[in-house]
Structure 1
Amino acid sequence: MTVDYKSTVFLPKTDFPMRAGLAQKEPQILAKWEEIGLYEKLREDAKDREPFVLHDGPPYANGHLHIGHALNKILKDIIVRSQQMMGKNANYVPGWDCHGLPIEWKIEEKYRKKKKDKDQVPVLEFREECRQFAKEWIDIQREEFKRLGLVGNWEDPYLTMTNRAEAIIAKELCRFLMNGSLYKGAKPVMWSPVEKTALAEAEVEYFDHESTTIHVRFKVEETKLDVIKDATIVIWTTTPWTMPGNRAISYGNDIDYAVYEILDVHDGSLARVGEKICLADALAAEVMGEAKVADFKQIARFKGKELEGTICSHPWRGRDYDFDVPCIAGDHVTTEAGTGFVHTAPGHGQEDWEVSMQYGIAVPDTVGPDGCYYDHVPIFAGEHVYKVAPHVLEQLTEVGSLLASGKIMHSYPCSWRSKAKLIFRNTPQWFISMETNGLREKALKAIDETRFVPAAGRNRLGGMIKDRPDWCVSRQRAWGVPITVFVDKKTGEPLRDQNVVDRIVKAFEEEGADAWYSRDPQEFLGNEYSADDFEQVTDILDVWFDSGSTHAFVLEDRDDLTWPASLYLEGSDQHRGWFHSSLLESCGTRGRAPYDAVLTHGFVLDEKGYKMSKSLGNVTSPQDVNNQYGADILRLWVVSADTADDLRIGPEIIKQQSDVYRRLRNTLRYLLGNLDGFSDAEKLPFEEMPELERWVLHRLFTLDKQLRKACNDFVFHKAFAELHHFCAVELSAFYFDIRKDAVYCDGADSVRRRAARTVLDILFNTLSAWFAPFMVFTTEEAWTSRFGEDADSVHLRQFPEIPANWQDDALAAKWAKVRDLRKVVTGALELKRKEKVIGASLQAAPDVYAPTEYVEAMNGIDLAELSITSAAQLHEGNVPSGAFIMEDIKGIGVVFKEADGGKCERCWQILPEVSDEGGICKRCEDAIA
């Protein structure tokens, strides 16, 4: 009679399913967190701990989240959660940037479709439309962020458009006003003719663009240098539209220049035989080629400094351009391209402006806000700079000043909203001085005192601060915090009065920045001044000043946060954006950076390394991934990547992450299944553990060190790779594989089974905590599966403290040899399985030959148990001929033998002691008894 022994085997039992169903399950877990108030519990639990503040850089409230948002916010959440689980009070307050062009542009688009001029709409009505637009998208984005598993203060985020925020932003600006750093000046700034406003560098992106190039002769009128008296100086530019703004020619003092006589020309050349032109010696051959010159000779050579005092005439002299064009020395002149002479239009370039100021050259106003030349500009009045190049060439040709023209493909600045080409345009703007109160030096010192991850960020930000011009903080728009300044009509000086500032701030706190437009200016000026004597500024603040001030109305102003932040974290483009503006704002008002550390991540590309675009059809949206796979898959994608570099994502990469997830989920499922019925009474003390269990605990000790270092370094991918390897290889393919027999078949009170189950319990408690910041939903599901729906959330736990006595380097070294030996045995058995000699390893009883050090390492270890065979013999000595060997593990060989005996119907081992068909071995008899 056959006995059913299956009921006597301790088979795994768990309701934690193999198939995750994350897309359906994750929203349920989110609802549970809302119901139990997880965020509030985290805050209460950590209220007395050391704070860790990751200050959230505010995204714009103007559209659905893209994959870059997902990367950014998931990385932030992983850091916040890991710091919380390492004993910190890691409060995360999300925020939104609500002002500025991204939102205003959307409202304008609505008006443009109706063929309505936005400027005809009352300003308060227009601002309210912008405000409502931002509110709608904040609500949408909030839910999309929460769906990614982010824990934070979603009920009370910070918004740059609240009354309090707008009041503090205005107050921060007035700090610069009161200390003399804020001034009004006319400088060339990056300008969008389409949006009719100045732009910050962070609002600019660069695209390849084909430009017209021109080589232009300037006639020498006066000079101390006889060799150039009858020559022309040649400049080169890729912006022909700036020629009406030319007021000087810049040269380099130490550059070698020469005068060349044209001897012969090719057909179509605009050069003239016998004329003399002046060029940098290093660029002469290149220029002559572009001018189609067949032959030329050098007739004089000199250093640039000898050009001092030289005066040229504008090419259009006699056509209302009747002014001198002086030659001036400039440090920005090089021989990398062009002619060695730089056409200098002080109204259309920062370097042009700086060198012109140095020489007292006036800056002309030539181009209006719409990109058209002013009416007073000779020849080109009313023409648009985008379309004027053919006319410029025509006019230069008419007067004989055009030497050559061509085309060049180069990187060109464009607005990242409208995609329109930008121009440098001289306009009156409000600036914060980098020098007046030592802002540049303070910022550079703060950079030295800040931790950067990766470290290269320090040099990048430092280089930008070192060379940057004064900060242009004004914009000619409507939606934002106004520049709260009154200008004396007589002196042109801004009013600096703290009482006026205080009244403005108080009004903003009561009704927001709209007060600047709705209230009588006399209310702000009080009884001390008359509104008739002052001009009220109508420009708004650069939105980067808004976000750069968040540290003041978020970190300083909220009771649940502290200043400075422990960490600012954004994409690498924010060295010129939020990191930059926050640094300048804080250093200018508080003398130090608002952050202790800065972390940057790369951009997200498709699987082939291309930028994502709808037209290419290569966009991966976080919403689609969530709906098909679940947010935990996206989170694994973030934690497994080196975020310092650009990341790639697409269908194959998501599938790879799904495979990783499945292995990790199966590890948790195995632990849960084999911990069914486990209790504290079953636990075995560490001192009584077999070597194999103590090796696993040693690995937990080393992994704990790696993980904590990764969390403190904010660099996770290497530690995560180790954890994945530990689960997939060291546990599933090694420890679980070996101990499966003991856990299933040993008696309930056997030391080996109790030890294994004790370690499984430790593994579950440890891994569920370690993975909690990464797989937020899956670890919650696993924790609830084991301890019930009423158990506290896994996210309220701390990383377990790993006992120091678990570290055993000598044991680890010994087991490295044991694992090598096992690898050769399993390789030999796998070969026999492929050859259909055996179906399972328990059918084998191999002879294993190994050197002395391996035999010594195996002392006290059952080779058959290690190899999952029914029997095995270990022999010290040389490997016999014909034995199975592996090239990468020298000296070990395996001679295959089939196991001898009968098959135990309970544990399936083949043993001599089992003789009867349907019988069981002695161990199984004892276990059943």
Structure 2
Amino acid sequence: MSDEQTPTKRDASEKRDWRDTVFLPKTGFPMKAGLPQKEPAILARWKEADLYGQLRTAREGREKFILHDGPPYANGDIHIGHVLNKTLKDLVVRTQSLLGKDAPYVPGWDCHGLPIEWKVEEQYRKKKRDKDEVPPAEFRAECRAYAQHWVDVQREQFQRLGILGAWDKPYLTMDFSAEATIVGELCKVAESGQLYRGAKPVMWSPVEKTALAEAEIEYEDVTSTQIDVAFEIVESPVPELVGAHAVVWTTTPWTIPVNQAIAFGEDIPYFVWHLADGRRILLAFELKNEFEKRTGLHLTWPGASEGEVHQNVVERMAAHKIKGSELAGTIARHPMHHLGGFFARPRPLIAAPHVTTDAGTGLVHMAPDHGEEDFEACKAVGIDPVFAVEGDGKYREDWLWLGGQGSVINTKFNGPDGPICTDLREAGALLSAGDFRHSYPHSWRSKARVIYRCTPQWFVAMDRPLSHLPALSRAEQRWEGEGGNTVIDEEAHAGSPTLRELALQSIADTRFVPDKGRNRIGSMVEGRPDWVLSRQRAWGVPITLFVDRKSGKYLVDPEVNARIVAAIRDKGVDAWTAEGAAQRFLGDGRNPDDYEQVTDILDVWFDSGCTHVFTLESGHWPEQRWPADLYLEGSDQHRGWFQSSLLESCATRGRAPYDTVLTHGFTMDSKGMKMSKSLGNTVNPLDLMKETGADILRLWVASVDFTEDHRIGKEILAGVSDSYRKIRNTFRYLLGALEGFEEAERVTDLAEMPELERYMAALLSQLDEELKAALNAYDFNGYARALSDFCNNDLSAFYFDIRKDCLYCDAPGDPKRRAYRSLLDTLFHALVRWFAPILVFTTEEVWATRYPDAASVHLSDWPELPDGADRRLLEIWTSYRALREQVTAEIEPMRREKVIGSSLEAQVAIGLPDSADRPMLSADELAELFIVSEVLLDTGSVVEGPAVIAHRTDLHKCGRCWRHLPEVDEDGDLCARCEEVVA
């Protein structure tokens, strides 16, 4: 029976209106959600009732599940990436809690570092204050206040999303206890011998005046100036080279003033070519054409007579090729040698394995100050850095060429008309200068170009044996190959493993979701250089080391370290530089004048890499434990937090601080483009929550394949809102249909229920397994899709539709109606729990509508389903549903053509072939299944499959249930069932 229909009446004054006898669903649960208004009120009730505290009490003593929160940066309002990340974490924690585990969630923030320092400096610049004139303690206090402001703002915004956690007790890396723990971890690394100070080229931002970690770098396409520069050869074991010019090619002209050598490839064939002006130049034989194309210069070889055949020329040229190894001992001079001093020194030609013939000239100019490979190759022959470029990107004032000038990242300074090219051109050394498009590293904060710059920095060694950790108990293992296979290295070190080896072993032992994350982080760790720990800034945790001025070694004294840790725990990082601190830390037996007190601060990635220690181990959160079951962040954290946590934990504990790593992709706009304020394609989650509510955003998170890059936009969110309305309508129907349901009405034995109810119980049991499997795989997209499909396809379009007549028209005590309502109650308790981790506000509203005085739905466990679900029915009813679709397809044209008004006006004849299994349902039951007046079965038809023929029925309609039945006369009186119910 349909709600919208009204009985056909011969004479309205003579007919009784039976609508008041129909048991229509009743509920106060509105179809209009009004989430922006309702959600804050629900959130306020949770806070007042301390829902998180209630949940901790309820789960006390259960199996633990620990998700350790990767700290967002306390800098600005949340964006859509935050929404995805925090909601995924909330889904994990809530589903694990639903499964019965004790799954606490302690949120945290990264508070130190350059982004905050940069913002405070911006405020200074607006006030025309010089940051360097502000006392460091005062500056740090302003940084602390700035970070605290955004912690408070973001905390409220995250809670508005429905994220449940210990918001009144988060972890902050700037808490004194956290700072002390970070210092303690640094001391462990120092005591292990992994820490050392060395001068190596590191990524450096001339704008921010500090070293940067790889995780702080992003790559953008830029146009640089490429130049070819000639270095005159003044000495060589190959006589013909003397007087010739070795030509180098570079896209960083600013490094030419710091050149100290020229590198060649030992196996590369070189050749001396002639220019039109009579000069001879040396470059790789096979790069002649590329050089001519790039420079516009024509190269010749005058060693052949004009009449000689080509083959003879080729053979004679081959004989004049110079193998790279023959260049050893060759000396060139810098184009600016006339300046004297540094530039008058010999420029040796040295062998280097990184030299190739992929591009350029096959000769590479070497500036050990500004390249990792340059540094290593020059170091091998005793050439040291000269530290010519200052922290702001300018050459030292005393530098003979361009002293005090720069900045070296300025494109005009490096351009064809800039001072470098101009001086080289005047010296006769510049053979070409032009544009070159390529990818170049930038600071992700300032967006400015960075450089490699050699400065004294503190490093953690990747390849020194970790003597403080026990040696591996079996042949050393390492990560290798596709899929992260663990292979045995038979020639393993007999002693302790290195940090790199431990990290690779931990990667092999860790579960990655998706698994491709293993390859990504594995390849990064396998090839990464030593970890640069030091930064030259003010807002951060100090590198609390004393260096002996005579020996250059840092002091390792557990008692000194203990005093430092205690002081920072009491006073924070200002304790390191407080007046008289050095003497207090060193103790009476040492003279502070004998020691250098290090002033650098720690890389903030070391800060965040230590969060597992002060959050999971410190005891501040007794509900936590180490290691974490799960780390969950974006894919960029394979080079960030995943890796810094891995390295810190392996260096101090010998294994990763996590058992599983889950990686999500990035949110793009509706066209698949990266979001950018400049493009105007960003989506503001704060506005969306005001417009549609947080549950819509949460459903969007659960509806995308978050393991890949995914999209958001108006049309996408409109589709999510439509899905939400269908889910809400399902709950509204359940609430209405269950109005007044009591335990006395319940049918507890599945065997006593009709077959349709037993089939739905089997479907529910199957769904239960599917959902648990999805959660085990962290497949929230699959979880949400399975629930949504079940509501739409199995309930609304099938079960509810079929049993509507039973609910509306059967007597309250009818066994079938009681069975239906009993199963609806089971469905309600299952669905409201299963949806609770996603639609946190809506399910609370649903739960409170039915149980206004009960505790929160979020304190519930995974639903218990009736025992004895008959899974055999799944296959049987698959054929019934296929037949139902066939019947519906046959009836639909009749409805479109107005032959019938509803399917109840149709009579269906079904022909089944002799070989077909006979339906287990009766004709009346099939009529109810198909929602038609009657079904005529012919079980001996000569057809290949079920044949369906539909007609308009000649039977009359019951005035109450509107079914067309034989016992109803043409006046539309009641059918036998309705007569009995009404009586």
Q: Is the 8 A contact 1:251 1:329 kept in 2?
A: yes
Instruction: Report what 1:740 is aligned to.
Output: 804
Instruction: Report what 1:840 is aligned to.
Output: 902
Within 5 Å, give how 1:232-243 maps onto structure 2.
232-243=245-256
Moved more, 491-500 or 16-25: 491-500
Q: Is the 8 A contact 1:147 1:631 kept in 2?
A: yes
Instruction: Report what 2:311 is aligned to.
Output: none
Shift of 1:174: 1.0
Indicate how the Cα distance of structure 1 residues 804 and 757 shifts in structure 2: closer, same or farther if over 3 A, else same: closer
Distance in 1 between residues matched to 2:797 and 2:743, nearest whole Å: 27
Instruction: Report what 1:913 is aligned to.
Output: 967
Moved more, 89-98 or 701-710: 701-710
* Secondary structure, counterpart of 1:93 in structure 2: coil
Match of 1:280 among 281, 284, 288: 284
Instruction: Report what 2:339 is aligned to.
Output: 319
Superposed CA offset, 1:713-768 (max 9, x none): 21211232122111111111111111111111112222221221111111111111
Distance in 2 between residues matched to 1:631 and 1:303, nearest whole Å: 69
Instruction: Report what 1:337 is aligned to.
Output: 359
Instruction: Report what 2:610 is aligned to.
Output: 549
* Secondary structure, counterpart of 1:293 in structure 2: coil
Distance in 2 between residues matched to 1:398 and 1:726, nearest whole Å: 79
Q: Is the 8 A contact 1:817 1:854 kept in 2?
A: no
Within 5 Å, give how 1:340-351 maps onto structure 2.
340-351=362-373
Moved more, 608-617 or 795-804: 795-804
Instruction: Report what 2:53 is aligned to.
Output: 40
Structure 1: where are the runs of 5+ without partners?
A: 263-270, 881-889
Superposed CA offset, 1:354-399 (max 9, x none): 2222332211211001110002322211111124312111122222
Moved more, 281-290 or 414-423: 281-290
Match of 1:584 among 632, 647, 659: 647
Match of 2:443 among 382, 407, 415: 415
Q: Is the 8 A contact 1:814 1:857 kept in 2?
A: no
Instruction: Report what 2:192 is aligned to.
Output: 179
Superposed CA offset, 1:780-835 (max 9, x none): 111111111x2111111111244563251x32111111111111111121111111
Match of 2:427 among 372, 384, 399: 399
Shift of 1:496: 1.4
Match of 1:375 among 397, 418, 424: 397
Match of 1:540 among 597, 601, 604: 601
* Secondary structure, counterpart of 1:362 in structure 2: coil
Q: Is the 8 A contact 1:486 1:535 kept in 2?
A: yes
Distance in 1 between residues matched to 2:325 and 2:836, nearest whole Å: 68
Q: Is the 8 A contact 1:818 1:854 kept in 2?
A: no
Q: What is the letter of the counterpart of residue 206 of structure 2?
A: P
Q: Is the 8 A contact 2:233 2:245 kept in 1?
A: yes
Indicate how the Cα distance of structure 1 residues 705 and 337 shifts in structure 2: closer, same or farther if over 3 A, else same: farther
Please tell me whether residue 621 in structure 1 is matched to residue 675 in structure 2: no
Superposed CA offset, 1:209-230 (max 9, x none): 1111112222333333456445
Q: What is the letter of the counterpart of residue 370 of structure 2?
A: H
Within 5 Å, give how 1:463-478 maps onto structure 2.
463-478=523-538
Shift of 1:93: 0.1
Instruction: Report what 1:305 is aligned to.
Output: 325
Shift of 1:555: 0.8
CA RMSD of aligned residues (A): 1.8
Distance in 2 between residues matched to 1:711 and 1:274, nearest whole Å: 75
Superposed CA offset, 1:36-89 (max 9, x none): 211011101111011111000111111100010110000000000001111211
Q: Is the 8 A contact 1:244 1:377 kept in 2?
A: no
Superposed CA offset, 1:404-423 (max 9, x none): 22112222211122111111
Distance in 2 between residues matched to 1:358 and 1:465, nearest whole Å: 25
Instruction: Report what 1:361 is aligned to.
Output: 383
Instruction: Report what 1:450 is aligned to.
Output: 510
Please tell me whether residue 156 in structure 1 is matched to residue 169 in structure 2: yes
Superposed CA offset, 1:878-926 (max 9, x none): 688xxxxxxxxx8344322111222111111122211042411111112
Please tell me whether residue 259 in structure 1 is matched to residue 281 in structure 2: no
TM-score by length of 2: 0.90
Instruction: Report what 1:489 is aligned to.
Output: 549
Moved more, 697-706 or 775-784: 697-706
Instruction: Report what 2:413 is aligned to.
Output: 388
* Secondary structure, counterpart of 1:213 in structure 2: strand
Distance in 2 between residues matched to 1:29 and 1:922, nearest whole Å: 49
Q: Is the 8 A contact 1:906 1:924 kept in 2?
A: yes
* Secondary structure, counterpart of 2:157 in structure 1: helix
Instruction: Report what 1:108 is aligned to.
Output: 121
Instruction: Report what 2:491 is aligned to.
Output: none
Shift of 1:325: 2.1
Instruction: Report what 1:215 is aligned to.
Output: 228
TM-score by length of 1: 0.95
Q: What is the letter of the counterpart of residue 590 of structure 1?
A: R
Moved more, 347-356 or 105-114: 347-356
Q: Is the 8 A contact 2:179 2:541 kept in 1?
A: yes
Q: Is the 8 A contact 2:231 2:429 kept in 1?
A: yes
* Secondary structure, counterpart of 2:736 in structure 1: helix
Please tell me whether residue 196 in structure 1 is matched to residue 200 in structure 2: no
Please tell me whether residue 769 in structure 1 is matched to residue 769 in structure 2: no
Distance in 2 between residues matched to 1:283 and 1:750, nearest whole Å: 92
Shift of 1:473: 0.8
Match of 1:18 among 31, 50, 57: 31
Indicate how the Cα distance of structure 1 residues 276 and 831 shifts in structure 2: closer, same or farther if over 3 A, else same: farther
Match of 2:935 among 831, 848, 872: 872
Distance in 2 between residues matched to 1:491 and 1:871, nearest whole Å: 101
Instruction: Report what 1:898 is aligned to.
Output: 952
Q: Is the 8 A contact 1:701 1:804 kept in 2?
A: no
Moved more, 721-730 or 568-577: 721-730
Q: Is the 8 A contact 2:510 2:658 kept in 1?
A: yes
Q: What is the letter of the counterpart of residue 413 of structure 2?
A: V
Instruction: Report what 1:498 is aligned to.
Output: 558
Shift of 1:877: 5.8
Distance in 1 between residues matched to 2:875 and 2:279, nearest whole Å: 84
Distance in 1 between residues matched to 2:44 and 2:637, nearest whole Å: 34
Shift of 1:852: 5.1
Moved more, 140-149 or 401-410: 401-410
Q: Is the 8 A contact 1:257 1:278 kept in 2?
A: no
Distance in 2 between residues matched to 1:354 and 1:585, nearest whole Å: 26
Superposed CA offset, 1:131-169 (max 9, x none): 111111111110000000000000100011111111111
Q: Is the 8 A contact 1:192 1:198 kept in 2?
A: yes
Match of 1:670 among 733, 737, 747: 733
Shift of 1:858: 5.1
Match of 2:861 among 792, 798, 810: 798
Q: Is the 8 A contact 2:288 2:299 kept in 1?
A: no
Q: Is the 8 A contact 1:160 1:546 kept in 2?
A: yes
Shift of 1:282: 4.2
* Secondary structure, counterpart of 1:408 in structure 2: strand
Instruction: Report what 1:779 is aligned to.
Output: 843
Shift of 1:470: 1.2
Shift of 1:479: 0.7
Indicate how the Cα distance of structure 1 residues 359 and 873 shifts in structure 2: closer, same or farther if over 3 A, else same: farther
The share of aligned pairs that are identical, in percent, is: 54
Q: Is the 8 A contact 1:23 1:628 kept in 2?
A: yes
* Secondary structure, counterpart of 2:628 in structure 1: coil
